[in-house]
Amino acid sequence: MPKYVFVTGGVVSSVGKGVLSASLGLLLEARGLKVAMMKLDPYLNVDPGTMNPYEHGEVFVTDDGAETDLDLGHYQRFTRAKLSQKSNVTTGRIYNSVIQKERRGEYLGKTVQVVPHITDEIKSYIRNLTTGSDSDADVAIVEIGGTVGDIESLPFMEAIRQFKFDIGAADCCYVHVTWVPYIEAAGELKTKPTQHSVRALRDIGIQPNVLVLRTGPQILGSDERDKVAMFCDVSKEAIISAEDISPLYAIPLNFKQQNLDATVLNILGITAAHGNLGYWEDIVARLENLEGQVRIAAVGKYTGHEDAYKSINEAFVHAGIANNCKVIVDWFDSEQFEEGPLPDEVLSSYDGILIGPGFGTRGIEGKIKTVRYARKAKKPFMGICLGMQIAVIELARDLLGLEHAGSTEIDPDTPDAVISLLSEQRGVTDKGGTMRLGEYRCDLKPGTRAHEAYGTEVIHERHRHRYEFNNAYREALEEKAGLIVSGTHMLGEHELVEIIELRDHPWFCASQFHPEFKSTPLEPQPVFRAFVKAALAHGAGGSNDSRESETRAAQVS
């Protein structure tokens, strides 16, 4: 039977519960334990798939097609835990499940209430995390979203309070993450907010076993530890300082130095090997000693929210490790290129250009102009999901002369729908959880950039889209626009285009899938790695670019 670690947060949101949970998972895995990871979110949406990235940040997608909170991206980048539909549960999903049971009469006429029915359902989902393929997990780490005291979080807090009575208090560990503000005028870290947060948690009936105190750049001193230990009834050894550390991937090493893993294992009564973090220390050392530098201009729609493209930003960090260079990514709102300066006036100093994913009509023309600039200027270009679709539209307009070519998502009446609705999406009216989601096979064409990057002819990548390349235009684009279809997926008798390239360009590659979702610091994503390598070459002069592109054109023709 697995042990359970419940991670809660206090004082403010975004205090770092996700990174703490992922870091703890990494430390326990280094000791030879198998870890399962889960995020409980208090909002009423059934999943974050219908939420605006400006409110929620990116939607992370798992192999089995779950649209999840972005914290699951942290879990994947730090641990080997298998993430799935089980790994992210919302209030909406819980209530939806309970209401369906009530409609089927499963409660036998009882009055359905938050306690016990909602809390029992939450506990059922928690137990379900470690059944089936994850039944051999030694420790399940369950992060509760929101902040203690929030009305939305109360059912989850009550459920995890009850959980210790269901499986035994010795098999549960409660870790509470709070913020300790630094008052500059007094020159002091103030622990009073933490004391109030722990008091609110204890009012619910949960006594934290471990406190992780987020302090900003300051380091928690002995006096503050003593005060927190006395007023919060937590041993001094179980108080962990979580000062801001860069790079992000050095955070687990800071927790290791403070014996976070040993403290948690002692509370749970688990004996495990000391573990070896040499492989992770090597990653951090490489990050801190990168020799080169490359600048990427990323053009998107949700550039006002730092976490809207979280996995893409992290994938560039990983690609930088693989290429021994620092990758500087600057995000540009594509709308500025529609009526303001042209892309060549703003992006000329960058070594590579990326068009990110997105939905809707806003900023589309600016993205098309950006692709045209990257293509004509021979700058390394990468497109993801909508980015691939925009590239196809640009080629059709400029090289096939189809002036009004477009996507039926953007213009349902376009006379040349080079991007159209997936056949499987026709008739679908519900928005949530109905896209083409999760991992699908892609067959790569030998001699292409994609095949060179992956080093294999069959790959599996994750998707999140409704629209596809229209094969009715494929032959014309291949013959007249220099398009190379380098990756495809067979859907019955229908061949879906997964990756496109350009024949007469040094490095131009765009995918319908989301390669960023599988990137980790230990295994940088191949397309990102190849893109950064091409951008480095371009920044260094790229003297062989034209000859290489001509050779490749001959190989794939």
> Residues of 134-151 as b/e, b for ≥16 C-beta within 10 angstroms?
beebbbbbbbbbbbbbee
Whether 216 is covered by a domain: the verdict is yes
Q: What is the pLDDT of residue 546?
A: 44
Q: What's the pLDDT band for 550 if we cut at 50, 70, 90?
A: very low
Same domain? For 231 and 359 the reply is: no
> Which of 98, 100, 204 has its CA nearest to residue 158?
204
Same domain? For 351 and 463 the reply is: yes
Domain containing 414 equals 290-556
Q: What is the pLDDT of residue 544?
A: 47
Q: What is the pLDDT of residue 491?
A: 85
> Which of 96, 93, 200, 216 has its CA nearest to residue 157?
200
Single out the residue in 283, 308, 325 at which a domain terminates. 283
Single out the residue in 283, 309, 328 at which a domain terminates. 283
Q: What is the pLDDT of residue 47?
A: 86
Average pLDDT estimate for 375-401: 97
Same domain? For 163 and 272 the reply is: yes
Q: Are strands 60-61 and 67-68 parallel, antiparallel or unpaired?
A: antiparallel
Report pLDDT digits (tens) over 275-303: 899 999 999 999 999 999 999 999 998 88
Whether 53 is covered by a domain: the verdict is yes
Q: What is the pLDDT of residue 288?
A: 95
Among the residues of 380-434, which ranges form H helices?
Answer: 386-399
The answer to whether the beta carbons of residues 419 and 389 sit under 8 Å apart is yes
Whether 1 is covered by a domain: the verdict is no
From the candidates 232, 385, 442, 509, give the one annotated as an active-site residue.
Answer: 385
Whether 2 is covered by a domain: the verdict is no
Q: What is the CATH number of the domain that holds 370?
A: 3.40.50.880
Q: What is the mean pLDDT of the chain?
A: 92
Same domain? For 420 and 458 the reply is: yes
Whether 497 is covered by a domain: the verdict is yes
Same domain? For 145 and 219 the reply is: yes
Q: What is the pLDDT of residue 304?
A: 79
Query: 426 or 528: which carries more pLDDT confidence?
Result: 528
Cα–Cα distance for residue pair 388/400, rounded to 1 Å: 17
Same domain? For 312 and 225 the reply is: no
From the candidates 29, 121, 143, 516, give the one annotated as an active-site residue.
Answer: 516
Same domain? For 260 and 373 the reply is: no
Active site residue 514: yes
Cα–Cα distance for residue pair 63/82, rounded to 1 Å: 9
From the candidates 463, 465, 514, 538, give the one annotated as an active-site residue.
Answer: 514
> Which conformational region is residue 291 in: left (phi greater than 0), alpha (psi within -120 to 50 degrees), or beta?
alpha
Whether 536 is covered by a domain: the verdict is yes
Average pLDDT estimate for 201-225: 94
Average pLDDT estimate for 527-546: 82
The answer to whether the beta carbons of residues 408 and 420 sit under 8 Å apart is yes
Whether 383 is covered by a domain: the verdict is yes
Whether 100 is covered by a domain: the verdict is yes
Q: What is the pLDDT of residue 421?
A: 86
Q: What is the pLDDT of residue 55?
A: 80
Per-residue pLDDT at 449 exceeds 60: yes
Single out the residue in 283, 310, 342 at which a domain terminates. 283
> Which of 193, 178, 157, 147 has its CA nearest to residue 240?
178
Same domain? For 279 and 161 the reply is: yes
Same domain? For 15 and 33 the reply is: yes
Per-residue pLDDT at 320 exceeds 90: yes
Q: What is the pLDDT of residue 309?
A: 94
Number of structural domains found in the chain: 2
Average pLDDT estimate for 394-423: 93
Average pLDDT estimate for 374-393: 97
Same domain? For 55 and 122 the reply is: yes
Same domain? For 263 and 301 the reply is: no
Q: What is the CATH number of the domain that holds 71?
A: 3.40.50.300
Element (H or E) spanning 499, and its range?
Answer: strand 494-502
Cα–Cα distance for residue pair 426/327, rounded to 1 Å: 41
Same domain? For 252 and 331 the reply is: no
Q: What's the pLDDT band for 460 if we cut at 50, 70, 90?
A: very high
